Amino acid sequence: MPPNPLFDLTGKRALVTGSSQGIGLALARGLADAGATPILNGRDAAKLSAAAATIPGALTLAFDVTDHAAVRAAVDGFEAGTGPIDILVNNAGIQIRGPLEEFSSADFERLLSANISSVFNAGQACARHMIGRGAGKIINIASVQTALARPSIAPYTATKGAVGNLTKGMATDWARHGLQVNAIAPGYFATPLNQALVDDPEFTAWLGKRTPAGRWGEVEELQAACVFLAGPGSSFVNGHTLFVDGGISVSL
């Protein structure tokens, strides 16, 4: 069957930050399946190349998302040498757990840089080109912690709340230029970022009871949401955060 034009990404290039593993790599695969050429990003060039080898036609663009100048140089260089970046998925991020009363200022700053500054850096670098073309899609990866809190991750929760509001701000500034900026808020997914929780039987049992769907999410279950927000079908969706969380954010 021919692809549904509302979800067809043929001919589009999609930069996915932090995509050498986990959610980022799964989203890159989903975008590729919809016809896009994924551009994988990370700091480790060897790991990046290994990930790209699993997706036919995938490209790589190694840079540190927390370095504003490096991000802009990489995006500008790619646009000049290869072609337009039509879709940006701001997926890169880290998690640091610990009691808030003992949390170090250094770790707090690391979270701010990796989870918020990275979204600003890549978003601005790509939007400068998208605005000139009058079109572009930016998808920021938020979290169920954009709306909820849990013990031992207050600083992470703060960063993901900021991602949700930065998404609204980007949409407010850039929608008039033809861009759509939205966010996906994953619930609890079995990824390297959550490995400590996946390996904890007590937490997994709690999660099964707390989540209406009764289980961890599979990273592939995020792909359709990403393809929708990256495609023509979301042309009038802007500033929205789409929760993909098995119902945990709507249930007590």
Domains, the chain, ranges and CATH? 5-244 (3.40.50.720)
Half-sphere exposure of 161 (CA within 13 A, CB side): 9
pTM of the model: 0.96
Which tens digits make up the pLDDT trace of 122-142?
A: 999 999 999 999 999 999 999
* Mean pLDDT across 99-104: 98
What's the confidence (pLDDT) of residue 3? Answer: 74
Contact 88, 31 (CB under 8 A): no
What is the rounded distance in angstroms from the CA atom of residue 184 to the CA atom of residue 229? 9
Could you tell me the pLDDT band of residue 195, with boundaries at 50, 70 and 90?
Answer: confident
Q: What is the 3-state secondary structure (H, E, C) of 43-63?
A: CCHHHHHHHHCCCCCCEECCC
Contact 159, 112 (CB under 8 A): yes
Tell me the percentage of the chain whose pLDDT exceeds 90: 95
What is the rounded distance in angstroms from the CA atom of residue 208 to the CA atom of residue 201? 11
What's the confidence (pLDDT) of residue 2? Answer: 64
Q: Which residues are catalytic?
A: 156
223: Cα separation from own chain's centroid: 11
